[in-house]
Structure formats: C-alpha cells, structure tokens
Amino acid sequence: MDFQVMLKQKTITAATAAAMVESGWAVDYGASLNQPDVFDAALAERKLALRDVRIRYFLTTKPRKVFESDPEQQHFHGENWHFSAYDRKLYDQGVASYIPFNFGEGPRLYRDYIDVDLAVIKTTPMDKHGYFNFGASTSHVRAICEKAQRVIVETSTALPVCYGVENVIHISEVDAVIEGDNAALTELMNAPVTSADISVANLIIPEIENGACLQIGIGGMPNAVCSALATAPIKDLGIHTEMFVDGMVDLVLAGKVTGAYKSTYRGKIVYTFTQGTQRTYDFLDGNEMCISLPVNETNLTENIARNRKVVSINNAMQIDLMGQVASESAGFKHRTGTGGQLQFVRGAFMSEGGKSFMCLSSRYMKGDQPRSRIVAGHPPGTTITTPRTDVMYVVTEYGMVNLKGKSIPDRVNALISIAHPEDREGLEKQARSSGLLPRRFL
C-alpha cells in the first residue's frame, strides 16, 4: 500500500471540506490544540448556507471563526466540555453551552452515547508509516474519530510528535486531509506566583514523600509547588496527571522525576493533554520518557489508584464551611468545568499512602472589595465540583487542615482557622446563626 498515493488522493482544500457539512450536523473539533483553524475559517464562510450546526469542542486556545461570524447563533452553536478564558466569553454571550461530565468518562461517552457526523482534528503531518499523530492532546480524540461518520485531519508542522496510546490515526481511516497553515501553537503563559501561592506550596511540600506520584493542576499555586519541589530534598517522583504543565519540565530537569516507584508505566511520565509554553511543547516532542494516554487511562479513579503515594494538587474557586468545593461556577455563571478534579481527589485517597490537596487563597478581589473564598454557604446555582465527603486536605496561606473524618462542627472550626484573619469572626457568626455550630461548640 503506497501511503503517499493515498495521501495525494485524499488531500482536499479547506473549502471543499467545509462544503461537505450539512445543516443539522454535529461537527466535532476535538480538544485544545487539536482544534482546526483553516477548516474553521472555511466553515464560517459557508454560514449562510447552513442552519443548526452543532460544534463540539474542548478548551479553545484561540478565537473560533464559526462563532465570531455568527454571534446570533443562526447557523452555529457551540457545545463545550471545558471552558478556557475565550470559552467563558462565548458562554457569557450565549453562543455556547457547557456539557457536564467527569473528564475521564469522555471516551465512553462518545463510543456509547454521542453521535458525530464529522470530526475535524488537527494532527501532525503523516509519517512514513501512514500515521497522523494527535500531538499533545490525546484526551478522547481517538474515540471521537471512531464514532464519527466522517473524519478529516488538518495537518500542522507546529504540533509536537508525542508517543502514547490511541494518539494516532492512519491514512486508511480518514476521509480527507487538509494542509493546515502551520501557525505556531497558542501558548498558555504561566500565572504570576503570589506570596499566598508560595505559602501554600511551603505547607504542602513536607507532605510529599520520596517516590510520590504527582497530579498537579494549572495555575499559580501548582507552579509554586513545582518550583518548591525542584529545590526540595525529595527524589524519585513519578507523574501520572491529566494535564502536563510547565512546572513539570522544571521538575524533570532538576532530576526529581524518575518514575522508578510507579506501579503503572514505570519510568514514564503519563498525561493526556497539555497547554503551556513552547518550551513545554518542545520538551514533549519525540520525548520517549513521556507517554500520552487517552483520558480514561489517566483519569478513571481505579487507574489513578493503582499507583502508590498519589499526590493530587488542585485549585478551588470557593469552599463552604461543610467542605463542599466549587471549582467551576460562580452561582449560575459557569467558568471552567469539572475536568478531572473529582476523579483525582478520589483516586489519590484510594491510593496506598495517597493524599489530595485543595488549594485556594483565603481571599479574592471583587472590584476593589476583598471577598473570602471560604464561605458559610455557596450562592444559589453554584456547582459543587468535589463533595464534602471526598475533600481531604484544604490549604490556604494561613494553614492546612484535613477534613477526613471530621464532623460538621469540627470542619467549620478547621476551615475558619485557615480563613483570612479579618473574615473569621464573620464566618463564625454565620455558622452559629445557620446551626452549623451547635451550642456546645460556641
């Protein structure tokens, strides 16, 4: 079989590919860095010929032409699995909806429950064996392609070639190939590390043992943890994570990561997708130490728990005095997504010697007014990402508490103790008036 002949036969223009789309279709753009660009622009050009085209996607890295061209949703509507900053803007404008799910369930959801008329996925150019690589976003993309009635790949030389499982598609499996614009990948710059981030990191570091297996989320606090780990007297760390973040490069280069004590994929860094700087993309490109797995392999609780000493470190937007964590919405206003937080919190606790940490600054600014992230109760409509029954360690710059095994009054007192000092009296009064602190705890 001559793969180059097949490639030539299947290569079409973006305009020809967009002309395949019919009204009422469900078109899947894949995940993060895999979202197509030249096809997206070509599809936007066809908007007047189309109605009710559903676009599914995940963590958009740059503006989408289909939505920019159709703010009234007369032709296209977005359905999103996890919001980026740009996706929040679309949601606030009413252009896109959120689909609730635990990230690790993505492949099964597609294979068992979701219809896809067309999948258009950005990949690396075809290799000599006839394969297109999904790059740094394996996630649930293979499942999307398997379920799709038609599959088109848009190639880009900018994508890193990443080793893994279910992270390629063969020329014989695709209906068409578009040559992309090879534009540089969007970089997600690191949030500035604050003094609160450093304080939180310093509280967590003593809890991490040699040979621990890390899952670290995104943001200033996780970056601060990585920076602190890079200089801490800790060795033989493993990485089994959802998102590969920039700070992990620093850990590897500091000699802290060997994966020697992992039970699964020993010696390998395991992840399902990345968004970061070009330095991270370059690190992953052709790196045999790193293996990109489908998200059910990385995120399902039983897979996480197979490793010992799993340490899960994630951010929270807000936590109430019973321990309910909100990480994805502010009232009815959706901001991010469930992602894999709950699955990693549970997987870490199931792991032998495992620990999970929920990190948040004690306060945030709303306008020019400081507000407490620790609250007596969440506002109406707030989504609970991690239930109170699952939360383990909670960390602010004022301390760390373990909620496991604590009664409601003990949780209330513990969480008040790590709130901002100026908010503690008010929180205690609210706890008393709401009955969270019975008389004997007053």
Report the pLDDT value the prediction gives residue 442, as an integer from 0 to 100. 54
Residues of the chain with CATH 3.40.1080.20: 195-441
**CA of 9: how far to CAs of 177, 254, 267, in Å?**
9, 48, 41
Report the pLDDT value the prediction gives residue 15, as an integer from 0 to 100. 98
Report the pLDDT value the prediction gives residue 440, as an integer from 0 to 100. 65
What does the buried/exposed string (b/e) look like for 6-43 if buried means 16 or more CB atoms within 10 Å of the residue's CB?
A: bbeebebebeebbebbeeebbbbbbbbbbbbbbbbbbb
Angle subtended by helix axes 421-433 and 408-417, to nearest 10:
160
Identify any residues that bridge with 59 across adjacent strands, giving them in sequence order.
none
**Which CATH superfamily includes the segment(s) 195-441?**
Acetyl-CoA hydrolase/transferase C-terminal domain (3.40.1080.20)
CB 279 within 8 A of CB 249: yes
Q: Residues for the chain: how many in total?
A: 442
CB 88 within 8 A of CB 77: no
Q: Does the 3-179 domain belong in CATH 3.40.1080.10?
A: yes
Name the 3-class secondary structure at 370: strand
Which residues are annotated as catalytic? Answer: 242
* Phi then psi dihedrals of residue 91, to 5 deg: -60, -45
Residues of the chain with CATH 3.40.1080.10: 3-179
Tell me which H or E stretch contains 334.
strand 333-334
How remote is the C-alpha of 39 from its chain's centroid? Answer: 24
Report the pLDDT value the prediction gives residue 441, as an integer from 0 to 100. 56
Global pTM reads 0.96
- Per-residue confidence in pLDDT tens, the chain, 442 aa: 799 999 999 999 999 999 999 999 999 999 999 999 999 999 999 999 999 999 999 999 999 999 999 998 899 999 999 999 999 999 999 999 999 999 999 999 999 999 999 999 999 999 999 999 999 899 999 999 999 999 999 999 999 999 999 999 999 999 999 999 999 999 988 888 899 999 999 999 999 999 999 999 877 787 889 989 999 999 999 999 999 999 999 999 999 999 999 999 999 999 999 999 999 999 999 999 999 999 999 999 999 999 999 999 999 999 999 999 999 999 999 999 999 999 999 999 999 999 999 999 999 999 999 999 999 999 999 999 999 999 999 999 999 999 999 999 999 999 999 999 999 999 999 999 999 998 665 5
Q: In this structure, which amino acid lies at residue 167? A: N
**For the chain, how far is it from start to end, CA to CA, in angstroms?**
79
